[in-house]
Amino acid sequence: MSVRYKQAVPVVFGPGAVGEVGSEVKALGCGKALCVYDRGVSAAGIDEKVKAALSKAGIGIVVYDQISADPSSELVDKGAALAASEGVDCIIGIGGGSSMDAAKAISLMMDNPPPVSQYLTLPPMQLETHVPVVLVPTTAGTGSEVTAVCVISKLDTNEKLGLFHRGSVTAVLDPELTLSVPPAVTAYTGMDAFSHAVESITGRSRNPRSEVLALDAIRRIVRYLPIAYRSGADMEARTNLSLASNFAGIAFADADNHFGHSIADALSATFHTPHGLNCAWGNPELIRLIAPAVPDKLALIGQAMGLSCTGAESPVQLGEQVAAAVRELMRSCGIKSPREMGFTREQVVSGAPLAFGSGLRFNCPVDITPELAQSAMEGVYDNYQ
């Protein structure tokens, strides 16, 4: 069987890289940009850094600062209408996954007539655009700056659906922009990146490049996430987490996520808790579930986490050992359990049909049945108290 991996988008990386946004936009042949972000970005003063870089390069600026978590199709349509009426020729997404995904979707709507809701289907559609996008992540987690995925919420059906972006994307990865991320968000986003890494290594569509990048991401996250959680201003930790998120993003851009994200999406629909927190809750149970199918990959993950996996362990032992290390990582960065957050076992387990219904499960190395989905959700509650 052959696997396919492709080049990722260009990445401009380093402390202060945000100062290069303007020259990057100019190099794309653009003269007027729509800046897409949320109020958190402006509260942290990050929008001003981007605007200063754009102004310095003589790029016109239009602001769309209305993005909220899990951006809705209506928000994308409003942004697309603004982009069209202002005649912009570039879209800049500044923020976490929500702003970056919205920016990608807005660029698609400039070549595909809105509303965006008509393109939100299962399986996800691929749309093309000639309008370039520049993405400036301000958290270290989603990896959205290097993936084609846009996750948009359809309000009428309460569904989060994906759309694939085909067009020019440039990433500007500046770890200084993550210095003001609060501890809980640091923990959640770091565990999102960790989940991308684990799922990239173990999914059916895994490939050799994804494995290298994802293992490197795991080493950096295990070492630096607890530090960044405790000491947000630690630049070494922030830099390593920015790289980890980016590498895990490149990894899953090819290899895709799988059942860990099915569990996370089910928890998200049930509790409306942050994506990275849901990924964290699901990850140890995913590991236990897939250990018998991919013990060699689990051993690599365990070794990257600093465990002494010798290969002599049974697959079940290996799964338990790695899952326990993930729970320890979660505890070291203050991640509460569903029980501690006030949710009941029944509520958690009620998400099992949703997890089973997710298309991502087909990339899981284990054939997911309703019974396996049920026991995974039980484990989410029972095994992390």
Instruction: Please state the φ and ψ torsions of residue 135, each to the nearest 5 degrees.
Output: -115, 130
Beta-bridge partner residues of 11: 171
Residue, CB closest to Fe ion: 192
Is the CA virtual torsion 278, 280, 281, 282 positive or negative?
Answer: positive
CA angle 91, 97, 98 (to 5 degrees): 75
Size of the site for Fe ion (CB under 5 A): 1
List Cα–Cα distances, 201 to 13, 87, 317, in angstroms: 24, 42, 19
Scored b (16 or more CB within 10 A) or e, 114-151 reads: bebbebbeeebeebebebbbbbbbbbbbbbbbbbbbbb
> Which of 50, 67 has the CB closer to Fe ion?
67
Shortest Å distance, C-beta 17 to Fe ion: 23
| By CB under 5 A, residue 199 contacts Fe ion | no
| By CB under 5 A, residue 192 contacts Fe ion | yes
| Rounded Cα distance, 321 and 193, in Å | 20
Shortest Å distance, C-beta 32 to Fe ion: 32
SS3 4: coil
Shortest Å distance, C-beta 279 to Fe ion: 5
> Which of 116, 251 has the CB closer to Fe ion?
251
Shortest Å distance, C-beta 167 to Fe ion: 22
Q: Which of residues 119-138 bind Fe ion (CB under 5 A)?
A: none
> Which of 101, 192 has the CB closer to Fe ion?
192
Q: Running DSSP on this structure, what letter comes out for residue 111?
A: T
> Which of 96, 338 has the CB closer to Fe ion?
96
> Which of 174, 192 has the CB closer to Fe ion?
192
Task: Considering only the stretches 131-139, 163-171, 187-195, 319-327, report the one whose residues sit in contact with Fe ion under the rule CB under 5 A.
Answer: 187-195
Shortest Å distance, C-beta 360 to Fe ion: 10
Shortest Å distance, C-beta 101 to Fe ion: 11
Q: Nearest-CA neighbor of 192 among 276, 101, 96? A: 276
State the binding string over 55-94 for Fe ion (x if CB under 5 A, else -): ----------------------------------------
Contact status, residue 186 vs residue 234, Cβ threshold 8 Å: no
> Which of 24, 192 has the CB closer to Fe ion?
192
Shortest Å distance, C-beta 88 to Fe ion: 29
In this structure, the chain runs to a length of 385
Beta-bridge partner residues of 61: 33
Per CB under 5 A, residues contacting Fe ion are 192
